[in-house]
Amino acid sequence: MSAAPSSLALPRHNAAVTEAPWLRRLLIAIALVFLSSFLLLPLLL
């Protein structure tokens, strides 16, 4: 979870993310796909 400290250190970037909710949803979707792929990879192999 290295994204939390960076967002706290950059309030301007945090404001830009809140202005674009679709970007936040896209980042969350990418993170979910990343985690699900890591969890499903041992099952597929």
How far apart are alpha carbons 31 and 20 in whole angstroms?
Answer: 17
Question: What is the pLDDT at residue 11?
Answer: 56
17, 24 in Cβ contact below 8 A?
Answer: yes
Question: What is the pLDDT at residue 1?
Answer: 47
Question: What is the pLDDT at residue 19?
Answer: 67
pLDDT tens-digit profile of 1-45?
445 444 455 556 656 656 678 888 999 999 999 999 988 888 877
Question: What is the pLDDT at residue 18?
Answer: 60
Question: What is the pLDDT at residue 45?
Answer: 75
Find the DSSP H helices in the chain.
Answer: 3-9, 11-19, 21-44
Indicate the pTM of the whole model.
Answer: 0.47
Residue spans per domain, the chain: 3-44
